[in-house]
Structure 1
Amino acid sequence: MTSVLISAEEILQKGLNAFRFIDARHDLVNHQLGTEQYIKAHIPTAIFLNHETDLCDVKTGKNGRHPLPKREDFANVLMAKGIHIDDDIVVYDADNMMFAAHVWWMLRWMGFANVWVLNGGFKAWQVVGGDVEEGIAPALPPVTWTLRESLVKTVSADEVLKNIQSQQFVLLDARAPERYRGEVEPMDPVAGHIPGAINHPFALNVEADGKMKSPQVLRDAFLPYTQKGLVINQCGSGVTACHNILAMEVAGLHDYALYPGSWSEWVADSTRPVATGE
């Protein structure tokens, strides 16, 4: 176990009762897939959180595809589902942790201190023969707790805009290279990237089996981005950028922030500049 990752074997050793499990499986195109996968099979007692409803605010057309909810509203969602801020929580998705990392980050944003991501996701759990159950897990009784100071940083679109000239921080884009270059754009109305952003696709962080690469490999990959100190992470809608943040944590690099609105918010304002190519 690291400060942010836990293996399927470690969960088996400690026992299911040691943790509260959150199932974060999702698909950015087929929004029903996560629910379907959860109902078919999930880690026993796991609570499902939906990226399109539980984990984002109302979409206005100007605030991106996964706008952060108000902290108080998200706290109410978690409390209603029986998730306590002092629980030891394990978040998982299908395999490569792209959605689990987002939930991990959001819980840290709420002040949750004890949150781990299942390395390799539900696939890794199945490989070790972990128990599963089908259907919807019985609802937990609601709980109450008080919001705590956020454990992570965010920046706004205005701060990113100012940085194009000031170059005070490095902006890291987690999307696939072809989207970054503007050759294709399957999700948003404008193709390209924020001027000055450096492309580090989140897929570079994992091995073929969906597990995170070693801390040293990740440190070697991310250390060059830290020459200005703070590294701002963005992607299409603030989801996969959290994977780069998770990888930085594994690498022992902690000076990072998230631009939650990311590309989908950025291009909603036509006055913001857009770059293409490398």
Structure 2
Amino acid sequence: MHPLISAADLRAWLARRPETVLLDCSFDLADPSAGERAYAEAHLPGARYAHLDRDLSAPKTGRNGRHPLRDRPAYAAWMGRMGVAPGVPVIAYDRQGGMFAVRAWWVLRWMGHADVALLDGGLPAWQAEGNAVTADVPAERPAPAYPDLPPAMPRIDAAQLQPRLGEVQMLDARAPERYRGEVEPLDPVAGHIPGALNRFFKDNLQPDGRFKPAEQLKREFEALIDTERPVVHMCGSGVTACHNLLAMEVAGLGRSRLYPGSWSEWCSDPSRPVAKGAAA
């Protein structure tokens, strides 16, 4: 599947493929129950809720970042509970321009599931097309645990990344003031990994919350990085980094690598280097 699907195309798609699994990934970092409350009030008919902390992340240890990846068997069991099986399409969405739904998209691709896309513009785009929402929670239709397939998305960890600083291209998806280390509302240390460049994930979006056209994204990424070289994506906790990764896929710039632990994991070890200010 293409990484994005429009609200109009999704409506037609669901008429043809009613077995499609819809995942509402709405979330709020400042209020972790807000997304679930919003889902309870209104969501796409048939959608299930995917909680960033509970479903899409492992428990925190203080050294593994704020949203560490779960192990693959845990994700496989969760996917089965959501009704995801090989060949079953999955559409993820949220209310925040894909800020959190991109994590579900990446996780499913990492688990080897090819048939997954993001609803471009999320719930607001769906409603703007005049489509219905509901408060009804669908009946469960669990499937067996998802089979162990080869990952379709590569990743890198801190131990692999640190000796390659200065060699790999890194894109940090956080807001510019956080990247520069001027403010840090979420993590104990301010700054960024030395050598990383900044691409705020919201720069991928148009004012209405939908992604920019592929050609525009391509021009913007090509102006920032050497797209012929490998790219490592990071952010605060490995979530919005997936937004830049998906945007590069939309732009036709190939798959790049995610550093899931991102800044929250990196800065938990005082022996790791820290940079501040704008990129040199």
Q: TM-score range by the shorter chain?
A: over 0.9
Shifted more, 75-84 versus 98-107: the winner is 75-84
* Structure 1 runs (4+) greater than 6 angstroms displaced: none
C-alpha displacement at 1:255, in angstroms?
3.7
| Cα shift readout 1:100-151 (whole Å, capped 9, x = no counterpart) | 1111001000000011100000000111111211043222233344121000
Contact 2:214 2:250 in 1 (8 A): yes
Contact 1:168 1:228 (8 Å CA) reproduced: no
Q: Which residue of 1 aligns with 2:218?
A: 219
Q: Are 1:64 and 1:265, in contact at CA under 8 Å, matched by a contact in 2?
A: yes
Q: For residues 112 and 65 of structure 1, what CA distance do their matches in structure 2 show?
A: 25
TM superposition shift of 1:228: 5.7
- Decide whether aligned partners of structure 1 residues 228 and 14 sit closer, same or farther in structure 2, where only a CA change above 3 A counts: closer
1:33-44 to 2 correspondence within 5 Å? 33-44=34-45
Q: TM-score, normalised by structure 1?
A: 0.95
Deviations 1:72-119 (A, max 9, x none): 111111112322232111110004111111110010000000111000
Structure 2 spans left out of the alignment, 5+ residues: none
Contact 1:64 1:264 in 2 (8 A): yes
Whether the aligned pair in 1 keeps the contact of 2:227 and 2:253 (CA below 8 Å) is no
* Counterpart position of 1:107: 108
Q: Is contact 1:95-1:124 (8 Å) kept?
A: no
Partner of residue 9, structure 1: 8
1:37-186 superposed matches below 5 A? 37-164=38-165, 167-186=166-185
- Identity percentage over the alignment? 43
The residue that corresponds to 1:258 in the other structure is 258
Query: Whole-Å Cα distance in 1 between the matches of residues 146 and 105 of structure 2?
Result: 18
Match of 2:237 in 1: 237
The amino acid that maps onto 2:220 is: A
- Give the aligned length: 275
Structure 1 residues 228 and 142, CA gap change in structure 2 (3 angstroms): closer
1:249 is aligned to: 249
**By how many angstroms is 1:160 displaced?**
2.1
Amino acid at match of 2:179: Y
Contact 1:229–1:255 under 8 Å retained in 2: no
One-letter amino acid matched to 1:212: F
Offset from partner CA, 1:149-182 (integer Å, 9 cap, x none): 0001101112221122xx2220100000000011
For 2:22, what is the secondary structure of its paired residue? Answer: strand
Cα root mean square deviation, aligned: 1.4
- Equivalent residues of 2:21, 2:91 under 8 A apart: yes
